[in-house]
Amino acid sequence: MGHRFSKRKLEGTDNLSPGRFSVSEEAPPHYSSYSTGSETAVSMETPTRRPSEVVNSRQDNRRPSIYSTMDAMPHLEFYANATATGRIRRCRPSLETLRKAIDVALQESGIESEENGPGGKTAQPVRFGWITGVMIRCMLNIWGVILFLRLSWITSQAGILLTWLIILMSVLVTSITALSVSAISTNGRVSSGKSLDKSTQILFFLVLMVSFVNYFVGTLIPATPQKQSIGVFGYREIFLENLFPDWRGADGDFFRMFAIFFPSAIGILAGANISGDLKEPEIAIPRGTLMAIFWTTISYLAISSTVGACVLRDASGSMNDSLPLNFSEPCEGLSCGLGWNFTECQQSGTCAFGLSNNFQVLIQVSGFGPLIYAGIFAATLSSALAFLVSAPKVFQCLCKDNIYPFIGFFAKGYGKNSEPLRAYLLCYIIAMCFILIAELNVIAPLISNFFLCSYALINFSCFHASITNSPGWRPSFRYFSPWTGLFGAVISVVLMFLLTWWAALIAFGLIIFLFGYVVYKKPEVNWGSSIQASTYNMALSYSVSLAGVEDHVKNYRPQCLVLTGPPTLRPALVDFVGSFTKNVSLMICGDIHMDDEKSVSQRNSNDMIKWLNQRKVRSFYTSFKASGLREGARHLLQASGLGKLKPNILVMGFKMNWHESSSKGIEDYINTIYDAFDSNHGVCVLRMMDGLDIRDELETEVNQAFEVDEAIESDDQISDADSDVDNTKNTANDQIKTVFQSKQGKKTIDVYWISDDGGLTLLVPYLLTRRKRWRRSKVRVFIIGDQQTMENDRKEMMTLLQRFRLDVHDVIVVTDSERPPLAKNMRRFEETLTPFRLNEGQLDERTAQQQRTEFTWKVTDKEMDALRPKSEKKVRLNEIIRRNSKYAALVLVSLPVAQADCPSSLYMSWLDTLSYGIHCPVLLIRGNQQNVMTFYCQ
């Protein structure tokens, strides 16, 4: 668990009673807390360390929140995978720990580290850039034997123009797939795959470059009579002759040529397969892959056009077919004008040379033929070895997941790198079976079918992940569209059937069978897939199936129970929560009836549901009768929802009239927050300058925060049909436009991430900026730091936010949080709390003890003095917010967690102080200390 404790703070709690009123300890946000799966488990068997030891082990990496020494500021290491990084495993404290006394926290705080070698340090792997890591790697996999042995023949059959069309069609499919791959592979970090050595790929690349130069130089060298006899003439008038198709033989068909050529365009996954070994995969994969496609396309277009401009389709290879100066023999075709008579072999179909008859034309055209052989070996070996070492690794992972029976045998690994030797052998046998066919024109269409099938699935996966609106789908690569992914999937399927329809039927039959088996068996694996996210959108009809699906951080959704009372009286609270839950997650409007009615009116419930539907708010409405707010909220927290459709966040409005409220009212309100924490729910408290309840405004006139809804525009990312309000059904009394339905323009959303709560404080503004009205708003993140380490703190936070793929405008480090607050602001705080103080100085000891027992909600002098530092920090933070966020559209502040026995009036005054005097809406927000964001894609 690992926490740091300030020695100064510990010494300052000696005068407090055990288990009460000591400074709560919370942890700053750390990189390692956001790891996934079993890797997040923290051992509780670690021996307890003394506070001084904890301080020494943490002081270089941990900074306490200004709320307390254990309530920690956001830190990148809370979100890291400890196993992958080899760092000391750290995690933020749980809500239970935060609310316990300091001595209990000390007893339960443990530190677990993972040391990989002496001193807990591990050697960092070599990271590749986009050129050597992706572009060259992809180019080596794309260039293959078909380039050297079939491109010239395809040019003779289809002509230069249709050959270019075949190349561009192939590039279209691979480019769209590359966009989908870039989106998928940049939606988090993935583990490294297996690839060619770097002292090897450079060698292969150089050999290929030399062979290409050798070929192009050969096209410029004047052709000798020997070369002319086999149809090689250099740049003459041959280009126009070879411009159009000349179909011959059983393979003389456009789609047959496409099927044979398409394997020359594959190999685009080479960079994504090793994204864990790249320096910046979010940049390297798309840039390197697209550049590889671009340069290989240029090479294909250049070779097809030059070979078509230099070589005849037919030639005999006989020196006797050379024409004398004054010849009188009958001669037909372009060769006659070039001084050669190939008419006889053309008519008899016995020509052994030329584009249409010889597969080794590139060797014949080149300046030095053996160099082309070297290029063939380099292209073949680089492609074959890359697939031969990567495919078994992928298959090994599939086998380890135990998704399908009878394949677990191939999951076993050998050696320190867990090499899949059995899978290597299987791939070798499969490869040899294809090689034994010994006919490239037969093998190529089969390979094309397999790759088109995989590309169709990749594109559809990207499309499906996009349309599910999962908050976990946040690719760093933005230049893709779900509709291009769908187009790529459709065109791949169409081409499969056009090329080899029977093979396409077999492939799809296999896919349907395998997918059906997974759906039926429901294996115990959890990838946070887009299918799981899609199931959420269809929760009403698939709630039973969702009940058996394990939660995954990537598919976390903020499911809100909103204590609106009658939603019609608090439309701003409804609209605000609806802004980040609509089309994303669950929202339940909870209405707690605390009057003397014997039953809740069904008609009233129907009216509320009708109002929500007219307002186009995707929310359920639940009413509950209870004697008080706390009782009703407690039951709603326990009973609301079904299966996975269950609230994990309690949203409340700020209690504006708390100064005039009874002690029971304040106790109920604060204890409702405490109950939410105790039940492991997040908490959001929304405060607006003019309040949230519009009961008085409906009876008199509209205040500044609300106005009559004359024309509320749609708030949807996809279509106008998903508007927030149906204008044709609105009236002045039942539909009121709130500030959250107006365009926010270029105002900022200011996030004061004071304590790490698992990422909810960042997730809510991200979801808001996905809406049309908030899209132009800039998110600014404020963190607490020191002047000496300000730049490092800012860089670390920027790194964390980039890993999260969050578009944050700026990170601002506040370095003056330790200054004492202004005297007038501190006086206001104390005056606000005066009615709730227990003035022990004016009472005898017996009476004072009796009142302490009877009025637990009042603040004693001892409590006031002990918690004064925390109170001063709340006042100071409010000063900072008012200074920096004058023109913000929304302010989010980490909600402090008080210990269980903190007086409710004091905690209420903290909430009031934090949000006091801020003109824009303020959201006090706290997650449940569990990860809701991750930068891993597993």
Query: What is the CATH classification number for the domain harbouring 875?
Result: 3.40.50.620
Residue 412 within a domain:
no
Looking at the structure, do residues 757 and 900 belong to the same domain, yes or no?
A: yes
Q: What is the amino acid identity at position 621?
A: Y
With residues binned 3-state (H G I as helix, E B as strand, rest as coil), the percentages for the chain, rounded to 5, are 50, 10, 40
Report in angstroms the alpha-carbon separations of 83 from 37, 134, 568, 718, 938: 11, 25, 50, 40, 13
Bridge-based pairing of strands 560-563 and 649-653 is parallel
> Residue 590 belongs to what domain range?
555-687
C-alpha span between 419 and 415 (Å, rounded) = 6
Residue with tokens 């020997």: 226
Report in angstroms the alpha-carbon separations of 691 from 406, 547, 921: 64, 39, 10
Residue 413 within a domain:
no
Strand order from edge to edge, sheet including 778-784? 620-625, 587-593, 560-563, 649-653, 682-687, 922-926, 888-894, 748-752, 778-784, 810-814
Looking at the structure, do residues 791 and 906 belong to the same domain, yes or no?
A: yes
Looking at the structure, do residues 898 and 796 belong to the same domain, yes or no?
A: yes
Question: Could you tell me the two tokens for 453?
Answer: 């099938």
Instruction: Among 659, 687, 715, give the residue marking a domain's end.
Output: 687
Looking at the structure, do residues 678 and 772 belong to the same domain, yes or no?
A: no
Report in angstroms the alpha-carbon separations of 410 from 392, 400, 434, 790: 9, 8, 21, 51
Looking at the structure, do residues 665 and 751 belong to the same domain, yes or no?
A: no
| Number of Cβ atoms within 10 Å of the Cβ of 756 | 28
Which residues face 64 on adjacent strands? 72
Looking at the structure, do residues 770 and 901 belong to the same domain, yes or no?
A: yes
C-alpha span between 938 and 935 (Å, rounded) = 9
Question: In 3-state terms, what secondary structure has residue 271?
Answer: coil
Q: What is the amino acid identity at position 481?
A: S
- The phi and psi torsions of 650 (rounded to 5 degrees) equal -100, 125
Residue 916 within a domain:
yes
pLDDT of the residue at 394? 81
Residue 795 within a domain:
yes
C-alpha span between 282 and 289 (Å, rounded) = 12
Residue 235 within a domain:
no
Question: In 3-state terms, what secondary structure has residue 74?
Answer: coil
Instruction: Among 635, 664, 687, give the residue marking a domain's end.
Output: 687
Residue with tokens 């917010």: 881
| Cβ(493)–Cβ(456) below 8 Å | yes
Looking at the structure, do residues 683 and 758 belong to the same domain, yes or no?
A: no
Residue 899 within a domain:
yes
Q: pTM of whole model > 0.95?
A: no
Instruction: Among 664, 687, 710, give the residue marking a domain's end.
Output: 687
Residue 51 within a domain:
no
| Number of Cβ atoms within 10 Å of the Cβ of 221 | 13
Residues of the chain with pLDDT under 50: 1-28, 30-33, 35-61, 83-86, 103-122, 701-733
| Number of Cβ atoms within 10 Å of the Cβ of 77 | 24
Residue 490 within a domain:
no
Q: What is the amino acid identity at position 374?
A: A
C-alpha span between 413 and 419 (Å, rounded) = 5
Handedness of CA 409, 414, 417, 420 (dihedral sign): negative
- In tens, the pLDDT along 721-746 reads 333 333 333 433 457 888 998 888 88
Buried b or exposed e, range 716-729, using 16+ CB within 10 angstroms: beeeeeeebbeeee
Question: In 3-state terms, what secondary structure has residue 592?
Answer: strand
Handedness of CA 769, 774, 777, 783 (dihedral sign): negative
Residue with tokens 């959890």: 526
Which helix (H) or strand (E) segment holds residue 890: the answer is: strand 888-894
Looking at the structure, do residues 559 and 674 belong to the same domain, yes or no?
A: yes
CA nearest to 860, candidates 893, 900, 901: 901
Question: Which residues lie closer than 8 Å to 399 by C-beta, 6 or more apart?
Answer: 407, 408, 409, 410, 411, 423
C-alpha span between 667 and 29 (Å, rounded) = 30
Question: Which residues lie closer than 8 Å to 224 by C-beta, 6 or more apart?
Answer: none
Q: Is 443 exposed, middle or buried (0-12, 13-18, 19+ CB in 10 A)?
A: middle
C-alpha span between 307 and 219 (Å, rounded) = 8
C-alpha span between 367 and 216 (Å, rounded) = 8
Question: Which residues lie closer than 8 Å to 320 by C-beta, 6 or more apart?
Answer: none
Report in angstroms the alpha-carbon separations of 535 from 107, 540, 937: 42, 9, 19
For residues 312, 315, 319 and 324, what is the CA-based torsion angle, rounded to 10 degrees? -60
Looking at the structure, do residues 766 and 624 belong to the same domain, yes or no?
A: no
Q: Is 601 exposed, middle or buried (0-12, 13-18, 19+ CB in 10 A)?
A: exposed
CA nearest to 889, candidates 755, 762, 748, 752: 748
Q: What is the amino acid identity at position 126?
A: V
| Number of Cβ atoms within 10 Å of the Cβ of 11 | 9
Looking at the structure, do residues 638 and 757 belong to the same domain, yes or no?
A: no
- Residues shown for the chain: 938
Looking at the structure, do residues 643 and 574 belong to the same domain, yes or no?
A: yes
For residues 146, 152, 156 and 157, what is the CA-based torsion angle, rounded to 10 degrees? 0
Question: In 3-state terms, what secondary structure has residue 668?
Answer: helix
Question: Could you tell me the two tokens for 418?
Answer: 């867990």
Question: How many domains does the chain divide into?
Answer: 2
Rounded to 5 degrees, what angle do the CA atoms 614, 618, 620 make?
A: 100
Looking at the structure, do residues 577 and 646 belong to the same domain, yes or no?
A: yes
C-alpha span between 917 and 919 (Å, rounded) = 6
Question: Could you tell me the two tokens for 105?
Answer: 């926290």
| Cβ(141)–Cβ(267) below 8 Å | yes
Bridge-based pairing of strands 748-752 and 560-563 is unpaired
E strands present in 806-921: 810-814, 837-838, 859-860, 888-894
